[in-house]
Amino acid sequence: MAATGAGTPRRPVRRSDKVSEAIARDIVRRIGAEELTPGTQLPPEAKMLEEYRVGRGSLREALRILEVHGLISIKPGPRGGPTVDQVHTENFGRMATLYFQMDGVTFADLVDALVIMEPILAGRAALRHDPQLVAEMTRFTRPGRMEDEEYTSDTADFHRLIAAMSGNPVMSLFGQSLTDIVRDRLSPPLFPKSRRPAVVNVHGDIARAIIDGDVDRAEELMREHMSEYAAYVRRRHPGRMREVVDWR
């Protein structure tokens, strides 16, 4: 399915637009308008050059902009070309760190933001009470796995599901991207093994509050949980808390 179908009119380019940026915006608009799914191959370079009537350098710069932002991938070779990618919170977080660094945001600021965001997401998850996602949440009310890889995966899934259950894609994307940055930069950010049973129990209590639609309890439990988590991270990485989040 092409991103440049005849049924999607092309947005006029403003005189103030840089050519490559205007092309990149148009491609993104078409991906959304035509509901192109991840893995969909965009038109080949020759076809795009013919449609946009620009130089090869401008087109390639436009595609590079989208690739850097993680919205497309470009495969080399005769059967390659630009392909629509899945929107990942990691990519959003990576671009956010550029602004964090320029604005002097510290890791302490980042952790504080998580303490604020996570209870809000939990409360909205309980309030929205999506039946399908509530059914998924029930697995966290059962005994959890304690081995390193499984525990890490379950913990990530728990917070990711709550973000999705909030029903607000902006809050979900932003909240999950903050978690991604913390986990990537503050290794190991998880509680020690001795605390894992308690963490799994707390996750179970939060899950049950969300399943019951108890907004206040879901928020309260998550706030306590995240405050304890933040205190542990500060103890584990005291020097890092004062550092500015760097762009990677």
Segment 60-84, tens digit of pLDDT: 999 999 999 999 999 887 778 899 9
Which residues are paired to 82 by β-bridges?
74
* Rounded mean pLDDT, 166-187: 89
Q: Are residues 42 and 144 in the same domain?
A: no
- Give domain status of residue 95, yes or no: yes
% of the chain exceeding 90 in pLDDT:
73
Q: Are residues 103 and 70 in the same domain?
A: no
Mean pLDDT value across the chain: 89
Q: What is the pLDDT of residue 17?
A: 62
Residue in 231, 225, 190 with CA at minimum distance from that of residue 210 = 225
Q: Could you list the residue range(s) of the whole structural domain that residue 35 is in?
A: 19-84
The three-state secondary structure class of 197 is helix
Q: Are residues 227 and 136 in the same domain?
A: yes
* Rounded mean pLDDT, 184-207: 85
Cα–Cα dist 45/39, whole Å: 17
Q: Token pair 């308008």 is at which residue?
A: 33
Distance of alpha carbon 2 from its chain centroid, rounded? 26
Contacts for 34 with CB less than 8 Å, ≥ 6 apart: 1, 3, 5, 7, 8
The three-state secondary structure class of 84 is strand
- Asked whether the bond before 197 is cis by omega within 30 degrees of 0, the reply is no
Element (H, E) at 73: strand 72-75
* Rounded mean pLDDT, 197-219: 96
Cα–Cα dist 167/181, whole Å: 22
Which pTM does this prediction carry? 0.81
Q: Are residues 98 and 162 in the same domain?
A: yes
Contacts for 191 with CB less than 8 Å, ≥ 6 apart: 198, 199, 229, 232
- Give domain status of residue 101, yes or no: yes
Q: Give me the number of domains the chain comprises.
A: 2
Q: Are residues 38 and 147 in the same domain?
A: no
